[in-house]
């Protein structure tokens, strides 16, 4: 599997294709909520397997020290194979390299334990999106 990081138009288009399948088709989240106009400002990670799209996520920097990790999506046939871990670790590594100190995520509530294994800490319940309760969690990077 290949892990690519960047924000080229081609990478963003690949990310959109994965997110459409996972969020819009599978999770019934309205497409306009996913396509928020911030993709060109974010760094994206896209994972492929022999040229086939597998997974994506993005990191959107808020300021010099904080960014939001979001839009984490793995195509159904690749779930359970550790791909999300690769995606998350790639963005955490990038965040460390660029000097960030805090990463925020708004994750599905049922994934709380999963993200806690990475070192994210629960902060609070936030909005409901497409019938999915989201929670805010933070990760503090050590420099």
pLDDT digits (tens, 9 = 90+) for 13-70: 999 999 999 999 998 888 888 888 999 999 999 999 999 999 999 999 999 999 999 9
Inter-residue long-range contacts of 47-51, CB under 8 Å, 24+ positions, other chains counted: 47/1, 47/2, 47/3, 47/4, 47/83, 47/86, 47/87, 48/1, 48/2, 48/4, 48/14, 49/1, 49/2, 49/78
Alpha-carbon distance of 125 to 15, in angstroms, equals 26
Q: Which two tokens stand for residue 14?
A: 């690949």
* pLDDT number for residue 28: 85
Residue 137 · residue 118 · CB < 8 Å: no
pLDDT at 143 over 60: no
For residue range 72-117, list pLDDT tens digits in order. 999 999 999 999 999 999 999 999 999 999 999 999 899 999 999 9
Tokens representing 67 are 């960014």
pLDDT at 132 > cutoff 90: no
The pair phi, psi for residue 41, each rounded to 5°, is -90, -10
In what order do the strands lie in the sheet containing 132-140? Answer: 2-6, 43-49, 52-61, 66-74, 102-108, 132-140, 121-129
What is the pLDDT at residue 6?
96
pLDDT at residue 130 above 80? no
Percent of the chain with pLDDT strictly greater than 90:
83
Domains, the chain: 2-140 (3.40.630.30)
- pTM for the structure as a whole: 0.90
């Amino acid at each position: 599997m290949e892990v690519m990081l960047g924000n080229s138009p081609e990478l963003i288009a690949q990310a959109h294709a994965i997110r459409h399948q996972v969020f819009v088709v599978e999770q019934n989240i309205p497409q306009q909520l996913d396509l928020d106009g911030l993709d060109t400002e974010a760094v994206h990670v896209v994972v492929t397997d022999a040229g086939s799209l597998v997974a994506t996520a993005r990191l959107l920097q808020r300021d010099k020290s904080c960014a939001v990790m979001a839009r984490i999506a793995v195509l159904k046939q690749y779930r359970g194979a550790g791909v999300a871990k690769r995606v998350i670790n790639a963005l955490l590594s990038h965040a460390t390299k660029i000097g960030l100190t805090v990463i925020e995520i708004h994750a599905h509530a049922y994934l709380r334990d999963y993200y806690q294994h990475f070192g994210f800490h629960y902060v609070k319940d936030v909005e409901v999106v497409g019938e999915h309760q989201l929670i805010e969690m933070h990760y503090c990077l050590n420099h």
